[in-house]
Chain A
């Protein structure tokens, strides 16, 4: 049915005014105004009533952890723990073996083999990039750590894809399965990693396996989602044609759906890689070692080193991303039409690659090249580590100087954001009567998204209150909202710019990747020095992490505006600006909305990082819960972050159908 309706929808909507949209804005503003009046009238008089709090919950959760520990400690473990242990042992051993193998090949051998492999399957540009990456690992003096992280991440990504792609295919083919799995995926992305570190440690112990599992939890969702999108994006008439020719479901999948969804599935692979690499530091906390460990210990004793290791993580992420993309592109069967001689040539090329790798490793071994790139050869220092560290330190020293020019700008800005944006909002949400907040947010959800989302919002807010973290959650909510507003403002304006200019779009790509993979704890440190209001750096961290997603979605949305609408506007003599404001933006309105929605989710994902740099609220509780062994506290706060996320998602999702259209 949808397939019939869709063409009609895309043909008609052009420059019609959309009273519903304005109407919604007005209604939302009205509700907020009422809430504001109520909160001023009864400020601080109605905090969440303690009779509505389940006070024993944290103790039950603590008991659960203790039970888990006891079960785990028993000598005659149940079948479940035996399975977990076998799994974690084999992953541990495999990652360790893989790391040793990379080191055994020696730094020279690994570089030659890696570059040759990429040259064969990804082309010259990708190979050069790979060479650059290996050079970075070597010259920063972080070769061994890089190899540890590389091995860990390759295993984590491979496992994520092994799990994610089949599930994605399933979700693409079955609506019911898709509906069932969506909330699980939301939870996997929103629940902060800190919350599941302890259960993961109990089940998988410390080490590579635990690191791999934690990484997988965060990296699987994009693989599933985007694969499902790809399968769903296969045109219905193609599927029908294949069916009418007598394809079985299996044939349909392997011959039609998978090949046609190839491009999107590979996008899923890329996103999976980027998400995985953003977990390197977290993995370091539970025995993942490698660069993550350098970052965490560096933060306390040598911030410049932490920053350097962070940049190496970014180089690794971007290289893996670009290389897989290049490989996918070059091996795309739709693009290359090989004849017999072409095939033969390729086969020879493959053989030559293998030979080059083997010879390279062999020579390196014969020459007795060391496993890791040395710091010194003879008496000469052959890495750039010292030089880089001094350069970074110069920047950090400037930032750490309270008399610098930068500080004289950032400090007042930060104070302004705090006093005029955050504090009023915090007062409004934390001090306002709980029932007007609950009713108000539910009403907004109803106006923007409809009845069912409104009911979900109501339930979620109720859950937050009943678990006893209402005030903390409202505190966090105020920060999330401010961060989202900043992220949306940056993301939308840059997204429009990127859609209008290819050059800008290209230039933004590395920036986006940098912000998404550089460990947040690292890039937030300069802001702590620059803005001496502890809540603000956390907000900036959230906004910086979130805006790339908004940017990408808005850019997609604006670019996907049907060209005939744009041409029509031009024909009427609209200027570029007019076309943008009156045609493109309204038509991309849903993409913009989705961008905002995703920004909220991303901001929530880094709330805990905010807690670590002084945002207080739920993030702090989660971080403290992990280390101080207050399991119950950590879980409840994480759960509140999740419920808050679901509620905000429902408030901003708009009606479901529109959202789906944009995604497709």
Chain B
């Protein structure tokens, strides 16, 4: 290997450089004495703020308490990060919204290249949301039945005479087109695009105190800034589908998602002390929203936000390390 490198650079100096680089990386990771026993852990951070929150808290604890070296990647969720786990490029993902249940996910679960190692303690909720101020004028909007006949309240330039339903990020689980159709609502499903774009749309309307109905979820740090209400959809029944592409009945509310921690097969068998920690890591959506709000709402650096939470919650953190 060293021969190839030297040839590449054309200079023996590079050999020296490499030695120095190696020395530097070792000294850089030496927070404590136990550096060798943990090694490097790669955590994948997903795009939304909640994921940034749990990833940085885990990173902080792993680095400061277990002297691990933590690398973060930002691979897109779903098939891309499963593949990364199979290739050993990602060890841990701390918030998976049931991607493992899809056909693509099942393949990786089956060959054990990706393993689910329990919930991160949070239950994810997906649904139709409206601002709370709307309930004053239209108390019936609490349930989907109340929307019926009043759809035009949500009218926009794009929806013509129909009401506008703002769809979610293309990468998120959704079945709203089918829901609208099967519930017989006179709504037009308008795609708002990726989450930042969708937030731009509804928050702009919220600020003007105008009506808006949209796909949304919890835990989400913005829920601390905006007072939103979930519209009650029909209860779940047997055989109710959540995949729009499948034919059948979809007219029930979204399931609640136990958010899972995933590890790669390689990491699961590595015996790293970090694995024990990842298995035990668990918190609440209040915790997560608190940290996410520090980062995304108050624009604090993720490292600082994680530090603040960890210092204030020593008991919880210690439980992860037992």
Where the two chains meet, the residues of A that have a C-beta atom closer than 8 Å to any C-beta of B are 66, 69, 73, 94, 97, 100-101, 104, 197-198, 201-202, 205-207, 284-287, 289, 293, 296-297, 299-305, 371, 389, 393, 400-403, 415, 418-419, 521, 524-525, 528-529, 532-535, 537-538, 611-616, 620, 623-624, 626-631
Least distance between A275 CB and chain B CB atoms (Å): 22
Least distance between B211 CB and chain A CB atoms (Å): 13
B5, B84, B157: which contacts A533 (Cβ < 8 A)?
Answer: B157
Q: Which residues of B contact A300 (CB under 8 A)?
A: 47-49, 52, 195-196, 296
Q: Which segment of B105-113, B118-126, B141-149, B251-259 sits at the interface? A: B105-113
Q: Which residues of B contact A612 (CB under 8 A)?
A: 170, 193-194, 197
Least distance between B129 CB and chain A CB atoms (Å): 18
Answer whether A534 and B207 are a contact pair too, CB < 8 Å, given A202-B83, A206-B75. no
B78 touches A613 (CB 8 A): no
A296 touches B197 (CB 8 A): no
A534 touches B171 (CB 8 A): no
Least distance between A204 CB and chain B CB atoms (Å): 9
Q: Which residues of B contact A94 (CB under 8 A)?
A: 8
Answer whether A623 and B171 are a contact pair too, CB < 8 Å, given A73-B111, A285-B80, A613-B194. yes
**12 chain-A/chain-B pairs, Cβ below 8 angstroms:** A73-B113, A94-B8, A97-B21, A201-B80, A207-B89, A285-B80, A289-B74, A293-B73, A389-B299, A418-B157, A616-B191, A626-B80
A198, A299, A620, A629: which contacts B191 (Cβ < 8 A)?
Answer: A620
Least distance between A136 CB and chain B CB atoms (Å): 19
Most A CB contacts (10 A, CB to CB) among B80, B84, B192, B292 go to B80
A529 touches B200 (CB 8 A): yes
> Is B94 at the interface (CB under 8 A from chain A)?
no
B83 touches A201 (CB 8 A): yes
CB-nearest residue of chain A to B87? A205
The CA-CA distance from A201 to B90 in the complex, in Å, is: 13
A620 touches B170 (CB 8 A): yes
Q: Which 6 A-B pairs have the closest CB atoms?
A: A629-B104, A627-B171, A301-B296, A614-B193, A206-B84, A624-B170
The CA-CA distance from A94 to B1 in the complex, in Å, is: 12
A299 touches B89 (CB 8 A): no
A205 touches B83 (CB 8 A): yes
> Is B86 at the interface (CB under 8 A from chain A)?
yes
The CA-CA distance from A98 to B171 in the complex, in Å, is: 34
B196 touches A525 (CB 8 A): yes
> Is B20 at the interface (CB under 8 A from chain A)?
yes
Where the two chains meet, the residues of B that have a C-beta atom closer than 8 Å to any C-beta of A are 5, 8, 17-18, 20-21, 24-25, 45, 47-49, 52, 73-81, 83-84, 86-87, 89-90, 102-105, 107, 111, 113, 156-158, 170-171, 190-198, 200-201, 203-205, 207-208, 221, 245, 292, 295-296, 299
The CA-CA distance from A539 to B103 in the complex, in Å, is: 34
Answer whether A534 and B170 are a contact pair too, CB < 8 Å, given A285-B76, A287-B73. no
Q: Which residues of A contact B191 (CB under 8 A)?
A: 534, 611, 614-616, 620
Answer whether A624 and B296 are a contact pair too, CB < 8 Å, given A297-B52, A532-B204. no
B76 touches A101 (CB 8 A): no
A104 touches B200 (CB 8 A): no
A301 touches B292 (CB 8 A): yes
Q: Which residues of A contact B77 (CB under 8 A)?
A: 627
Least distance between A333 CB and chain B CB atoms (Å): 24
B200 touches A286 (CB 8 A): no
The CA-CA distance from A537 to B48 in the complex, in Å, is: 22
B78 touches A629 (CB 8 A): yes
Most B CB contacts (10 A, CB to CB) among A100, A287, A400, A630 go to A287
Q: Which residues of B contact A415 (CB under 8 A)?
A: 157
B89 touches A205 (CB 8 A): yes
The CA-CA distance from A521 to B194 in the complex, in Å, is: 10
Q: Which residues of A contact B221 (CB under 8 A)?
A: 301
A301 touches B295 (CB 8 A): yes
Most A CB contacts (10 A, CB to CB) among B20, B79, B113, B292 go to B79
CB-nearest residue of chain A to B73? A287
The CA-CA distance from A623 to B77 in the complex, in Å, is: 12
A297 touches B20 (CB 8 A): no
Q: Which residues of B contact A101 (CB under 8 A)?
A: 17, 21
B75 touches A419 (CB 8 A): no
Least distance between A582 CB and chain B CB atoms (Å): 42
B296 touches A613 (CB 8 A): no
Answer whether A286 and B25 are a contact pair too, CB < 8 Å, given A205-B87, A206-B75. no
A611 touches B193 (CB 8 A): yes
The CA-CA distance from A627 to B76 in the complex, in Å, is: 7
The CA-CA distance from A612 to B193 in the complex, in Å, is: 4
B208 touches A402 (CB 8 A): yes
Q: Which residues of B contact A538 (CB under 8 A)?
A: 193
Answer whether A535 and B158 are a contact pair too, CB < 8 Å, given A299-B194, A300-B48. yes
CB-nearest residue of chain B to A527? B200
B74, B197, B295: which contacts A534 (Cβ < 8 A)?
Answer: B197
CB-nearest residue of chain B to A616? B191
Q: Which residues of B contact A206 (CB under 8 A)?
A: 73, 75, 80-81, 83-84, 87, 89-90
Answer whether A534 and B158 are a contact pair too, CB < 8 Å, given A286-B75, A287-B75, A525-B200. yes
Least distance between B71 CB and chain A CB atoms (Å): 9
CB-nearest residue of chain A to B301? A375
A525 touches B80 (CB 8 A): no
B24, B86, B192, B295: which contacts A104 (Cβ < 8 A)?
Answer: B24
Least distance between A514 CB and chain B CB atoms (Å): 21
B25, B48, B190: which contacts A614 (Cβ < 8 A)?
Answer: B190
CB-nearest residue of chain B to A92? B89
The CA-CA distance from A389 to B49 in the complex, in Å, is: 18
Q: Which residues of A contact B21 (CB under 8 A)?
A: 97, 100-101, 104
B299 touches A400 (CB 8 A): no
Q: Which residues of A contact B157 (CB under 8 A)?
A: 415, 418-419, 532-533
Q: Which residues of B contact A614 (CB under 8 A)?
A: 190-193, 197-198, 201
Least distance between B102 CB and chain A CB atoms (Å): 6
A302 touches B295 (CB 8 A): yes
The CA-CA distance from A289 to B198 in the complex, in Å, is: 25
The CA-CA distance from A415 to B158 in the complex, in Å, is: 8
The CA-CA distance from A305 to B87 in the complex, in Å, is: 31
The CA-CA distance from A533 to B164 in the complex, in Å, is: 11
Least distance between B246 CB and chain A CB atoms (Å): 12
The CA-CA distance from A297 to B45 in the complex, in Å, is: 8
B89 touches A287 (CB 8 A): yes
CB-nearest residue of chain B to A534? B192
A299 touches B24 (CB 8 A): no
The CA-CA distance from A538 to B201 in the complex, in Å, is: 14
Q: Which residues of A contact B17 (CB under 8 A)?
A: 101, 104
CB-nearest residue of chain A to B18? A97
Answer whether A302 and B48 are a contact pair too, CB < 8 Å, given A198-B80, A289-B73, A534-B191. no
A534 touches B20 (CB 8 A): no
Q: Which residues of A contact B295 (CB under 8 A)?
A: 301-302
The CA-CA distance from A402 to B201 in the complex, in Å, is: 11
Q: Which residues of B contact A304 (CB under 8 A)?
A: 299
The CA-CA distance from A304 to B300 in the complex, in Å, is: 12
The CA-CA distance from A389 to B298 in the complex, in Å, is: 12
Q: Which residues of A contact B171 (CB under 8 A)?
A: 623-624, 626-628
Q: Which residues of B contact A197 (CB under 8 A)?
A: 76, 80
Q: Which residues of B contact A305 (CB under 8 A)?
A: 299
B200 touches A400 (CB 8 A): yes
Q: Which residues of B contact A201 (CB under 8 A)?
A: 79-80, 83-84
Least distance between A285 CB and chain B CB atoms (Å): 5
